[in-house]
Amino acid sequence: MPELAVTSATATADEAAAVADSIALQSPGQITFDSIGPTLTFDGDRIARSGSERIFNRRHLLLPVLHHVRNAIGWLSEGAVNEIATALQVPAAEVYGVASFYELFTFEAPPSPDTIHVCDDTACRIAGANDLIGELRSDGHCVHGSPCLGLCEQAPGVFVQRTGQAHVSVRTATKESVVAALDGELMRPVAPVPQVAEDLTLLRRVHNAANEDYDGYVATGGYEALTKAVSMTPADVIAHVGDSGLTGRGGAAFPTGFKWSAVAGEPGPRHLVVNADESEPGTFKDRVIMEHDPYSLVEAMTIGGYAMGAEQGWIYIRGEYPEATRALKSAIAEARSKGMLGDNVGGHNFRFDIELRQGAGAYICGEETALLNSIEGYRGEPRNKPPFPTTNGLFGQPTAINNVETMVNVNQIMLMGGEGFAQQGSGRSTGTKLFCLSGHVANPGVYEVTYGATLRDLLDLAGGTTGDPRAVLMGGAAGSFIDMTMLNVPLTIEASREAGFSLGSGVIMVLNNTVDFDDFVARIARFFQEESCGQCVPCRVGTVRQSESLLRIREKGAPVEAERVMLDDFAKVMADASICGLGHTASGAVLSALDLGLIGGAS
């Protein structure tokens, strides 16, 4: 073994066993390293590489191993980090550097084996999350205020990170229901979405509980899309995706067909990565799909693998989605056991398999290149582009990265044909779109509409607003506030852009006049401050300066005009000079709130 210098701290027997177990769990079988490339080891040398040479045997196991040890022991000790470093041949400083990047890992023994993460972000904040935190803390629980947990339609949301037991989420949480969850009481199921099955296309299966297992999925038309796909050539499948006009549903609205044909045109091996790190405050649509229709994602990815000649699929799901993770894990395992994943998918003569990877509490890992770094076992810091992932993606190889909702639409395209799909909606906005309604509406939830519905249509579907609506947060924290004069704007890519806002990930959060906007907007600013990876100066410092400025307005009565000059300066450098989208969009909500006179008493 190469010499790897570590401190004298050693792992306990339990920690050492957890490390050994986790590596055994991850080893061969599931992931075929051949498809990633040859492993590189140097006898007598330290194994550490980066860039296009990041193809070596064990570093990409770092995040799964950290999870496993954290879940078994409750925290990461110096001895445990040394054990992991030695086992994976990753320098201890780097193991620590990676682990300390993520919110869900701690380096001191927690006071309790259960850490209760209570969302105190946007929708949960206006649903009394801070009161819940106070109540739980006064009862002596270990509570951590969390950024959005993607449970906005059932606010306040809670994620319980347990030790030695499965994590759980608690929805519409009260002190009592959180305590019950600690005692192992399961959540009572609620309807996944408010609309009935007849009104749904993409989500038509979510009400049918049977479809959470393989036979039930097949009985409701599952795998018909794959059958259709493999009756065509891979190039034809991509042509249909191109013809459909499908655009990315994660927020950037990039044409999917274009991305797929770019990847297919690159020399292999290729990867298909699904971005299920749904962390944009106010967004929960992908969670609903994964919890209630996990096979549709597996099927759509299989079609993508066939079309692009990508043999390895990856799903990167956020660590705070325990139920969706379990649903996907079981779907992937069952699909594999039915021969629908593996060396010869469904007897159709191609290889495709899926590896599920969990994030560990970092919004930035939803940025596609940060996500790739995270999978590879590095800090979730975005890469500089170009080169783009289509040519230099996971392990430096051609990679298509698609959002969950985008991916699942591929099934629809196969069933309807590309042109048939494109007949829904108009222009660049084709197909149906999922919107996440939360805040002050009668029936919050995910709503599916054909592109072209107006904001008013969506609010009507959700039973109207409650109270006296003051503003709507569109697109999440990275989006912007609009006022109620925008009700008739069709929510299409084109019309929203013309009206000066972005649909982003489909967040529609209604805020009535009971909301303390100074507090609400300050929380959004704090969100960016806490979620900035810190790699580039404009965002690392700019998000902090922006927060400080808002606090000066709010708590020190600083003149808004002078602060606005500063805020505009911060916004401009973050938008112009940051590495990635986090910095580019970190000021949108703040400036729009000032423009609308929601904060600071100006208008």
Partner 1 sequence: MTMTNERPVEIRSKVTINVDGNDVDVFEGDTILDACNAAGKTTPTVCYGPTVTPVNACRVCVVELEGSRTLVPSCSRPVEDGMVVKTDSERVDHSRKMVLEFLATSSDVSQADDIMGWLGDYGADLDRYDVATTARMTDEVKIEDDLYIRAYDRCVLCYKCVEACGEDAQWTFAIAMTGRGFNNRIGTEFEVTLPDSACVYCGNCVAVCPTNALQFKTEFDLRKMGDWRPEDQSVTRTVCSYCGVGCNLDLHVQDNQIVKVDSPSDHSITSGNLCVKGRFGYQYVQNRPG
Binding residues vs partner 1 (CB under 8 A): 4-8, 46, 48-51, 78, 81-82, 85, 91-97, 100-102, 107, 362, 379, 384, 529-538, 540-545, 548, 551-552, 556, 558, 566, 569-570, 572-573, 575-579, 584
Whose structure tokens read 């899926």?
354
CA 255 to chain centre: 20
Least distance to partner 1 from the beta carbon of 19, Å?
15
For partner 1, which is the closer residue by CB, 14 or 42? Answer: 42
Strands 445-450 and 432-439 turn out to be antiparallel
Cα–Cα dist 281/43, whole Å: 47
For partner 1, which is the closer residue by CB, 37 or 534? Answer: 534
Helices assigned H by DSSP within 417-454: 418-422
In sequence order, what DSSP letters do the residues of 400-429 get, joined into one string? EEEEHHHHHHHHHHHHH-HHHHHTSEETTE
Listed in order, strand segments (DSSP E) in 199-311 are 271-276
Cα–Cα dist 486/595, whole Å: 15
Name residues whose C-beta falls within 8 Å of residue 495's C-beta, 6 or more positions apart in sequence: 489
Return left, alpha or beta for 172; rule: phi > 0 is left, psi -120 to 50 is alpha, else beta. Answer: left
For partner 1, which is the closer residue by CB, 573 or 596? Answer: 573
For partner 1, which is the closer residue by CB, 185 or 555? Answer: 555
Q: One-letter amino acid identity for 184? A: G
Cα–Cα dist 89/83, whole Å: 10
Least distance to partner 1 from the beta carbon of 530, Å?
6
For partner 1, which is the closer residue by CB, 428 or 545? Answer: 545
Least distance to partner 1 from the beta carbon of 143, Å?
20
For partner 1, which is the closer residue by CB, 54 or 204? Answer: 54
For partner 1, which is the closer residue by CB, 497 or 572? Answer: 572
Q: How far is CA 510 from CA 173, 299, 450, 460, 514, in A?
A: 20, 34, 21, 12, 11
What are the residues facing 511 on neighbouring strands? Answer: 471
Would you say 419 and 243 are in contact if contact means Cβ atoms under 8 Å apart? yes
Residues in the chain: 603
For partner 1, which is the closer residue by CB, 29 or 44? Answer: 44
Name residues whose C-beta falls within 8 Å of residue 96's C-beta, 6 or more positions apart in sequence: 81, 107
How many CB atoms are closer than 10 A to CB 423? 14
Cα–Cα dist 489/540, whole Å: 35
Would you say 95 and 81 are in contact if contact means Cβ atoms under 8 Å apart? yes
Nearest to 406 by CA among 259, 228, 282: 259
Least distance to partner 1 from the beta carbon of 159, Å?
19
Sheet order of strands, 115-119 included: 143-146, 115-119, 158-161, 168-170
For partner 1, which is the closer residue by CB, 411 or 578? Answer: 578
Cα–Cα dist 596/591, whole Å: 9
For partner 1, which is the closer residue by CB, 87 or 575? Answer: 575
For partner 1, which is the closer residue by CB, 188 or 556? Answer: 556
Would you say 293 and 211 are in contact if contact means Cβ atoms under 8 Å apart? yes
